[in-house]
Amino acid sequence: MKRSAFWKTTAELLRYKKQLAVAVGGAVVSAACFGAGLGMLLPVFTLFFDAELAEGEHPLKKLIDGALVKEDSYAWQIDLATWLNAQVPDDIFKSFLIIMGIIATFTVIGSVGRYVHQLVSITVTQQVAVAWRDRLFRKLVDAPISFFLGQNASDHASRAMFDTGVLARGHLAVLGKALPEILKGLAAVIVALCLDYRLTLLALIAAPLSGIVLHRFGKIIERASKRALQQQAGMLKTVNEVLGALHVIKSHGAEGYERRRFRRLNRSLFDEQMKMRQARALASPVIETLGLFFVLAAALVAAWFVFDQGVDPATFLLVLISLGAAGASLKPLTALHTQIKEADAAAKRLIEGAGIEGEPISLSDRADLPVLPRHHESIEFDSVSYLYRGHHPPALNDVSLKVQHGQTVAIVGGNGSGKTTMLNLLPRLTMPSAGKVLVDGIDIAGVNLKAFRRQLAVVPQQSVLFEGSIADNIAYGQLDAKREEIEAAARAAFAHSFVEELDHGYDTLLGEGGSGLSGGQKQRLCIARAILRDPAILILDEATSQIDADSEAKINKAMEAFRAGRTTFIIAHRLSTVVDSDIIVVMDDGRIVDHGTHAELLERCAVYQTLTHTQLQPARA
């Protein structure tokens, strides 16, 4: 029988064998004390129900003899029974107090065992949840950029944030609830079997029927839980979209539309939760009702044995109590079954997320690959093509280009012409479907990726900042950078002056996305980050597009000095950037249609002539 996704994930618990052994030990101690305390009720009932026996034969002594003195008993057992009997007082009330004290002792020891079990169980299940979140985040970070094209990123975030919590609750239900309840039920059944196996076996017939009912309810809950998790992911995506574009929504008066869109998703989630509610609400009373019927049937049989067969009523009463205790342990298992089915839906999504393939050679793998020396000769795109999954025609089609070290290359073209796709191949954010990218004559597919990326710096058009201090953002990826190096990079990017004016300077904490700073200030910090890396290869997506005219002129001078001795690729949107470049590459429909200087292309390239009049912006006055 094929294991469900949930039970596959429970293998993660085995990574904590020592802690699990402690948890199981605590549960065993708790169950053993529960069974022993239950068994000690027999002499109590005997005292109450059999006065002749209480006067003629002490029930506690009878219990000791029954446990230790038999035909095949060893001498030490007989000696122990004799000694224990000598300690039991003849006074019935004092004996009753001793029994109560023994039961209380078992209860305290069992409670300590249960505490240890619960404490360790919660710890282990949370450790497993942390491991799953780490695994999923690592998979997402290591995944190639192409993986996220057409993907719902919020769905993957939801798996790491929400699904891991559902899975942890399922693990805790098994380890923290099922194990102790099953052991308690087993202890109670053993006591009942020892007292009267006939009545006990009759009562156990109920277990298979209860299991069938639970299975039917579980299927309903599993399907509804999976749909509910998907709805949660959709809601997270919508909230992220709305909060990230609130200025657009308000300026277009679309608040009502977004409220209605969210309300529909919220209602869909509610509907799925209601389906789970009905199954959950019905499961417990159905199981309890079945259990009650079987207890009543057992009581009828017990009454027949007591009233017609003259069997000891104290024994049968304790059998019924033991079976009732075993049945009580079944009640939490109804909730357990529903939790496992919910967790199974989450486990399927987590296993799917953990199966995301990383980059062809991930940052952590193949450390034995050669480290590419610092770029100093040329960069070549050799007959490169790239086809996005599920798209046609290819985004790049047989692109070839060779650039000498130190040159500045401007790449121009209309939307969808392949500019960004081409430059994504250089830092190996994507891998070519055909062809090779060569740096100094070496195919970058066969070099150590992490070391190679240290030679690059990328400044995107949309500035990217993270929560943390300004210094941390400038030194992002350069954890060993010194404060003076950070400040020097900020000066080169004309960011030092505005940073110094902030209350905490470089230690100023930024909010999400660098909130609190202007677009130009954010971009200057991103440029400072690139300068600090001291790259051999620089990729700019028109890095001055969000900066005012005065700052743009200063930064252009700084970037001009910074580009010296480095190979620079620029996705150009301004005519001034194009004119100053050593090579201008014109792209159209995934191909390089021409390349050369500004004057050469104006004279011979119709596509470039059109671009200069329609898309390339003039320099700011």
Q: Which residue has the tokens 């446990």?
A: 67
Listed residues 317, 339, 354: the one ending a domain: 354
Q: Which of 59-63, 430-434, 559-563 has the lowest mean pLDDT?
A: 59-63
Q: How far is it, in rounded angstroms, from Cα 168 to Cα 147?
A: 28
93 and 10 in a single domain? The answer is yes
200 and 287 in a single domain? The answer is yes
Give the residue-averaged pLDDT of 111-124. 89
Q: What is the pLDDT of residue 188?
A: 78
Would 390 be classed as within a structural domain? no
Would 591 be classed as within a structural domain? yes
319 and 466 in a single domain? The answer is no
pLDDT band for position 442 (50/70/90)?
very high
Residue 617 is given by DSSP the state B
Q: How far is it, in rounded angstroms, from Cα 136 to Cα 537?
A: 31
Q: Is the pLDDT of residue 378 over 80?
A: yes
Q: How far is it, in rounded angstroms, from Cα 340 to Cα 423?
A: 47
- The helix/strand/coil state of 204 is coil
CATH code of the domain containing 325? 1.20.1560.10
329 and 415 in a single domain? The answer is no
Largest distance between two CA atoms of the chain: 124
Q: Which helix (H) or strand (E) holds 198?
A: helix 197-203
Would 437 be classed as within a structural domain? no
Listed residues 313, 333, 354: the one ending a domain: 354
Q: What is the pLDDT of residue 522?
A: 85
462 and 341 in a single domain? The answer is no
Q: Is the pLDDT of residue 49 over 60?
A: no
CATH code of the domain containing 574? 3.40.50.300
330 and 414 in a single domain? The answer is no
412 and 313 in a single domain? The answer is no
> What separation in angstroms does the CA of 436 have from each of 100, 147, 567?
83, 20, 18
Q: What is the pTM of this model?
A: 0.66
17 and 133 in a single domain? The answer is yes
Give the residue-averaged pLDDT of 496-503. 89
The answer to whether residues 543 and 526 touch, using CB atoms and an 8 Å cutoff, is yes
Tokens describing residue 214:
């639970």
| Domain that residue 582 falls in | 406-419+455-614
Would 29 be classed as within a structural domain? yes
207 and 343 in a single domain? The answer is yes
Total domains, the chain = 2
Listed residues 310, 327, 354: the one ending a domain: 354
Q: How far is it, in rounded angstroms, from Cα 388 to Cα 245?
A: 27
211 or 157: whose pLDDT is higher?
Answer: 157
Q: How far is it, in rounded angstroms, from Cα 353 to Cα 348?
A: 9
Percent of the chain with pLDDT over 70: 64
61 and 206 in a single domain? The answer is yes
Would 362 be classed as within a structural domain? no
Would 96 be classed as within a structural domain? yes
Would 401 be classed as within a structural domain? no
Q: What is the pLDDT of residue 51?
A: 46
Angle between helix 17-39 and helix 92-142 axes, rounded to 10 deg = 160
Q: Which of 238-252, 395-409, 493-507 has the lowest mean pLDDT?
A: 238-252
Q: What is the pLDDT of residue 62?
A: 60
Would 399 be classed as within a structural domain? no
The answer to whether residues 522 and 493 touch, using CB atoms and an 8 Å cutoff, is no
The answer to whether residues 385 and 435 touch, using CB atoms and an 8 Å cutoff, is yes
Residue 331 is given by DSSP the state H
User: pLDDT digits over 55-88, tens only?
Assistant: 445 555 665 555 556 666 666 666 666 766 666 6
